[in-house]
Structure 1
Amino acid sequence: MLEKKECTEVSKSVGVNDMSEIRENPARPEGKIGERMLERMNVSHGPLRAFGLPLLPWKESLRILDVGCGGGATIAEMLKRSPGSIIDGIDYSEVSVRQSQETNREYIGTRCQVQKADVAGLPFKERTFDLVTAVETVYFWPDIRKGLKEIFRVLKSGGTFAVLNEGSDPDNNNWPKIDGFMKIYRPEELKELLEICGFIDVKIHKGADQMICVTGTRK
């Protein structure tokens, strides 16, 4: 997730032992500040999920992966949309993993598993998933091609990959700089990247403001 407010300086001191927690960092949530930010993200990403998720090919008993699962709200909604599905979530932030596990505690160990991992080296076998989602996360991938190739590897033939972003115009935003890598992609850039990495039938869907959902499949 990325919000303008979530990139601003934190105005209050967080204690002598928490000097690293002076700024909210949507690229890698940490500590109590990260927990509070993820709670807000679960709510504030609601319109993006409401726009993008209905565009995906839902049916029962899918195997799904949510990359950069953050606070876990996307997983929670997908569990409802696909009865009998099994969903894996990964995030490279330990705080995000814990928060996502808490959000989906009812299903952890049965229909849901969340673990710490990086999109550049997914801990799954080839052709495992029917659907892979990436909601407000590709901004923060230092090597997006490597991440896309890993997603392509773990996607089944005929499976769908979906990128959902709130920002899609790098020339028309006033988001402050963050601690770490960040790049806002135009939808045409994402389409080209997906095609380079082997995805076919790549489609661009545009929503309100700068919202986009870019989907592709594996042949």
Structure 2
Amino acid sequence: MKKRNFINSLLQHTRRPDGFLGRMMLRGMNNGHAPLTRWGAAHIEWQPQWCVLDIGCGGGATLLRLLERCPDGMVCGVDASPESVEFSRRKTARYADRCSVEQATADDLPYGDRAFNAVTAFETVYFWGDLHRAFAEVARVLKPGGVFLVCCEMSNPGNDTWTSRIEGMQVFSPEELSAALADSGFTDIAVYRRGKENCCVTACTPDGRRTAEE
């Protein structure tokens, strides 16, 4: 019972890591999410000069991968957790000249209109609540033709293995994600699947190409 209680306590830090257990979770995320992140990112034609935003940047490992894919660009990260923000800042410290991390949520991004060529969201939409509000905010900060990438390990709302244990977690199907994206004005929506539940959805802001060229 004690072990089960510890695991359940640790799992609550999936949503908003904090303190010692939060740092444990962030280290686990950096390692455990790597294969999914690489698979999802492979569906985008990255450009070296792009400005990219990663929402729910967690432990910062994804920021490093984006910096590699856009060596002449800028990469920003946001996370609702102060612990994650500090963790990510330390992780990316050597790239401080072209990488910044701020505390923020998906539905209230601290950036101007049309600031980014691409926005990514790996393993985080589970906690966004109102998808339409968040997706509208993502559309606001994307350039015309900008690319939005959503990647999830779980995509079956009927599977409550984790939602029954993690407070505030909601799993969305690819169809639900696609519908919310379309309602928020996105176009060129494409769904990719891997295995039983891994899912990746890409979409563009109107009047542009998937490469988000200026």
TM-score of the pair, normalised by structure 2: 0.90
Residue type at the aligned position of 2:62: T
Q: Report the alpha carbon displacement of residue 48 of structure 1 after superposing the two structures with TM.
A: 0.4
Identity %: 38
Match of 1:34 among 12, 19, 22: 22
Q: 1:97 aligns with which of 76, 85, 88?
A: 85
Pair 1:71-2:59 in alignment = yes
Pick closer, same or farther for the CA change 1:22–1:44 going to 2, 3 Å.
closer
Partners in 2 of 1:84 and 1:114 — Cα distance? 18
**Matched residue count:** 201
1:61 aligned onto 2:49: yes
Q: Contact 1:200–1:218 (CA<8 Å) still a contact in 2?
A: yes
- Aligned partner of 2:201: which letter? V
Q: Which residue of 2 aligns with 1:155?
A: 142
> Residues 145 and 205 of structure 2 are in contact (CA less than 8 Å); yes or no, is this contact kept in structure 1?
yes
Q: Secondary structure at the match of 1:162?
A: strand
Partner of residue 177, structure 2: 190
Where does residue 10 of structure 1 map in the other structure?
A: 6
Contact 2:114 2:140 (8 Å CA) reproduced: yes
The residue number in structure 1 matching 2:75 is: 87
Residue 4 of structure 1 aligns with which residue?
none
TM-score (norm 1): 0.88
RMSD: 1.5
Counterpart for residue 48 of structure 1: 36
Q: Contact 2:108/2:137 (CA < 8 Å) preserved in 1?
A: yes
Task: Indicate the SS of the match to 1:214.
Answer: strand
> Aligned to 2:188, which of 201, 210, 214?
201
Unpaired runs of 5+ residues, structure 2, are 207-214
Report if the CA contact (8 A) 2:10-2:25 is conserved. no
Q: What is the CA deviation profile of residues 81-130 of structure 1, one whole-angstrom value per residue up to 9, with x for unaligned ones?
A: 1211200100010011011111111112x110001011111111111100
Contiguous gaps of at least 5 residues in structure 1:
1-7, 12-20
Q: 1:164 aligns with which of 139, 143, 151?
A: 151
What per-residue deviation string (whole Å, max 9, x for no partner) do you get for residues 146-172 of structure 1? Answer: 111000000000110000100001223
Give the superposition deviation at 1:22.
Answer: 4.3
